[in-house]
Amino acid sequence: MEFIIGLIADLFLFFFIPESKFEKNVEKLKEEDWFVTLNEDYRYNYIIWNNSKVKRFISKSNNLNMLLIDDVEQKKFIELIKQEHLKFISH
């Protein structure tokens, strides 16, 4: 079931969320030291660029703004990436 939901989410991302929005938001996040550290770790870099849940989150402007100004939201986001990585490696 989780696989089907993931597949639907990936299709949604492919057709409805412009890649440029995601990429533009990642470029803004790369100005943040905490994100650079996360993105340079190959495990988490893969999740950032390939996990539909994370890509969907980064693609939303409201989420980006929260990540840029709120330390608590940054920590939650880092936890999301770590959790998605654990899911990925456990399959």
Q: How confident is the model over 42-71, as pLDDT tens digits?
A: 999 999 999 999 999 999 999 999 999 999
Mean pLDDT, range 30-37, rounded to an integer: 96
Whether 84 and 53 have beta carbons less than 8 Å apart is answered as yes
Q: What's the confidence (pLDDT) of residue 7?
A: 62
Count Cβ atoms below 10 Å from residue 15 Cβ, excluding itself: 7
Instruction: Supply φ then ψ for residue 32, to 5 degrees.
Output: -100, 130
Q: What's the confidence (pLDDT) of residue 91?
A: 75
Nearest 5°: CA angle at 9, between 59 and 65? 15
Q: What's the confidence (pLDDT) of residue 40?
A: 96
Q: What's the confidence (pLDDT) of residue 11?
A: 63
pLDDT at 10 over 60: yes
